[in-house]
Structure 1
Amino acid sequence: MSLEMELAITAFSGAAALTSLCVLLAMLGTINPYHRPEVPSLGALAVIFVATYVVATTHDVEFGLDALRLTLVEGALAIIRILPLAFVFLTVMLLRTSLRKRPEDPLLALLESESGSV
């Protein structure tokens, strides 16, 4: 397998595991009597398990805590690598919103005309 493909698989697996861990923590923090977290929790645990297995086999690391740590670190680094692109996208969207000319509002004109006549 090529190095680029290996890095892409590791980054995707790590980001999936990190996201699933956040989902598990959110479910743990929002437990209430009407909440049924069994199926989403099992799904998130399955994603973490599969992602850790993929990273362990890709990097020839023994499946365990070291592989889980490597998976989560690779996921965090992958998300950090994507952040500049997200910031550029957010900046463009904010500039488009800020520089757009607002349409004339007839209700504001009516309010101004009524306040001037009193």
Structure 2
Amino acid sequence: MASQMTEMLKGTLEGIVLTILEARPAYGYEITTHLRDQGFTDIAEGTVYALLVRIEQRGFVDVEKVPSEKGPPRKVYSLNSEGHAQLAEFWRTWTFLAGRIDRLRTERTARTEHADTEG
């Protein structure tokens, strides 16, 4: 199951991170901690940092370097207008897919229950 979860997360992690940034600006470690607090315990910090680089390159976030008490300045990411548009598209797509998947699951359940009553 873990590998299936990993594969599904690959396709949705960008939307999840953009959703976190929609709530408030954050730096990489904060995002990773928030994800882990939400039950995404297998997500590696490196995965989040690589994703942040990609969304920065794609122009979905603004970045501000903020002094850190420990070490170099932190890059704080905040969602910009392009990021909001991308996030809206993510949720439209998610809603469509989730609805179709739920329909398939419901149909499967109905078939399974029907087969159980005939047997």
Higher-RCO chain (CA-CA 8 Å, sequence separation at least 6): 1
Q: Which structure has the larger Rg?
A: 1
Kindly indicate which of the two structures has a greater share of residues assigned to strand. 2
* TM-score in same-fold range (> 0.5): no
TM-score of the superposed pair, with normalisation by structure 2? 0.43
